[in-house]
Amino acid sequence: MADAPSAPTASSGVASAEWLAGGSGGADRLAQLLPAALRGMAAGTAERGGPVPAGGPAAVAATLARTQSADGLPRHGVGAEQALEELSALLAAGSADPADPACAAHLHCPPLAVSVAADVVAAALNPSMDSWDQAPVASEIEREFTTGIARLCYPDAARPDAVITSGGTESNLLGLLLARESAVTRPVCGANSHHSVARAAWLLGLPAPVVVPCVDDRMVPSALAEALAPLGAQAVVVATAGTTNTGRIDPLPEIAEICRRTGARLHVDAAYGGLALCSETLRSRVAGLELADSVALDLHKFGWQPVAAGVFAARGETDLQALTVRAEYLNADDDTEAGLPDLLGRSLRTSRRPDAFRMAVTLRALGVSGIGALVERCCANASGVHVLVEDHPALRSWGAPELSTVVFRPVAADELPGTAGDDLVAQVRRTLLEGGTAVIGRGALPTGPDGEAQLWLKLTLLHPHTTPADYRALLDAVAAVAADLRTSVTRESPVAS
């Protein structure tokens, strides 16, 4: 048996095959190097000791300045193991780690180890998804996976299809792009919609969306009907299944019916809530999704994938033909006629990572029901944390969660006049962040006396292995910081008392 190759060092030279991850011996080389990376990761995680490095941006920048050379890119290498161990430690020590329960601000999930391991293999073999000759089986795995997701969204459609995207932003762009290609000229979305919808309209040269009012962070169907009256089939409605601020789900069946009556197209941004489809008990919450012309789903939210893991599904596969493009070097007509699958029209991008591979491995490992069970845990956890908020004398709940987002406000903020309450909410969040104690989110909601925006705190719970008890101390910390800040505001400005 041949000796295992030695780990690349500075002296082994960059021209050596020892530096390549793939090919013969690639797996052995990775097996030698990964321990160094993982040692660094473990050491850095232990050094951080919490959800996020303490001290805020200045402390993180100072750490980097201490450990990295000040003259930009290094002139000479230190060798693979040392570089991996040192920088992995630096990254882990300085990361906001979503695997820590107190890192709960955003739709930023702790990735599953099975997916990360699959990604190592995908990165080593490096299929590029823009032509079959760069991704022979990866393209088939992606096809099978996207077909499965398309069926999950559209169980009764004759020919649904789906493509991989970099996330909800790109999927929403595709939703509007395909609408524009079918002669739609005006986007219409809820006041609760993600900013990427208006941005997509801007990018595509469409007018700014007509914004439909919301109540309880859900689009109001009667207001939608009114907005569509003068537009009809010229409009594409973007509804949301899982809003960024609160996790609310728009009334999809009613919205779909209004779109059907008026001839408007419907795109549903289900980047957050879409994977509730995997749960028998939760799927009814996103009922109506199957009535949309297109759907955005993100498996880097519920789905527990590393970024990026977006999927865009269309009820009719012909809609996706709008993405067709020819490039002599990638999908020449004669190659396609000879039977080489044409991949270029499956994305707006050209070179593209095989993100579907780790998603397919994850689904193979857990099954749809396994993902559904994780979604259920997060939603149940959020309901439990909401009860803790309601029972907390120093906190006020915005409302019961529909998915896994818990929105609340310190009572101390309500005791302050004008914008001082919002300032306090913002400072609570920054104090906990800078102290390295917790990463919690914020969102503005129209709850002021005259419907003006007020600032709220939110926990977006995507950690499937936590229980409400894991959040008790965090809620107490929010209340304690709010009380301290309230006292200092009163001391500085007695009028505020």
Ligand X SMILES: Cc1ncc(COP(=O)(O)O)c(C=O)c1O
The residues of the shown chain that bind ligand X, judged by CB under 6 A, are 107, 167-169, 194, 196, 240, 242-244, 269, 271-272, 298, 310
Minimum distance from residue 433 beta carbon to ligand X (Å): 18
**Among residues 44 and 168, whose Cβ is nearest to ligand X?**
168
First to last CA, the chain: 80
Q: What is the DSSP letter of 270?
A: E
Minimum distance from residue 105 beta carbon to ligand X (Å): 11
Minimum distance from residue 407 beta carbon to ligand X (Å): 14
Sign of CA dihedral 494, 479, 386, 247: positive
What DSSP assignment string belongs to 184-216? Answer: --EEEEETTS-HHHHHHHHHTTPPPPEEEPEET
**Among residues 131 and 246, whose Cβ is nearest to ligand X?**
246
**Among residues 29 and 463, whose Cβ is nearest to ligand X?**
463
Calpha distance 426→447 (Å, rounded): 16
Q: What is the DSSP letter of 154?
A: -
Minimum distance from residue 106 beta carbon to ligand X (Å): 7
User: Which residue blocks in 49-167 are alpha helix, DSSP H?
Assistant: 56-67, 80-93, 113-125, 136-153
**Among residues 244 and 294, whose Cβ is nearest to ligand X?**
244
CB-based burial of residue 225 (10 Å sphere; 0-12 exposed, 13-18 middle, 19+ buried)? middle
**Among residues 289 and 388, whose Cβ is nearest to ligand X?**
289
- Assign residue 463 a region: left if phi > 0, alpha if psi is -120 to 50, beta otherwise? beta
Minimum distance from residue 460 beta carbon to ligand X (Å): 9
Which residue's C-beta sits nearest to ligand X?
167
**Among residues 243 and 279, whose Cβ is nearest to ligand X?**
243
**Among residues 150 and 297, whose Cβ is nearest to ligand X?**
297
Q: Give the three-state DSSP class for 395.
A: strand
Sheet with 294-298: strands ordered across: 161-165, 310-314, 294-298, 265-270, 235-240, 186-190, 210-212
Task: Using DSSP bridges, classify how beta strands 218-219 and 265-270 pair: parallel, antiparallel or unpaired.
Answer: unpaired
Minimum distance from residue 201 beta carbon to ligand X (Å): 14
Task: Using DSSP bridges, classify how beta strands 405-410 and 454-460 pair: parallel, antiparallel or unpaired.
Answer: antiparallel
Please check whether residue 267 is in contact with residue 319, taking contact to mean a CB–CB distance below 8 angstroms.
no
Minimum distance from residue 194 beta carbon to ligand X (Å): 4
Q: What is the largest CA-CA distance in the chain?
A: 82
Please check whether residue 159 is in contact with residue 209, taking contact to mean a CB–CB distance below 8 angstroms.
no
**Among residues 175 and 421, whose Cβ is nearest to ligand X?**
175
Strand partners, 215: 218
**Among residues 292 and 475, whose Cβ is nearest to ligand X?**
292
Which single residue is written with the structure tokens 């190592």?
120
Minimum distance from residue 368 beta carbon to ligand X (Å): 21
Whole-Å CA distances, 95 to 47, 139, 239: 11, 33, 33
Minimum distance from residue 459 beta carbon to ligand X (Å): 15
**Among residues 37 and 459, whose Cβ is nearest to ligand X?**
459
Minimum distance from residue 253 beta carbon to ligand X (Å): 19
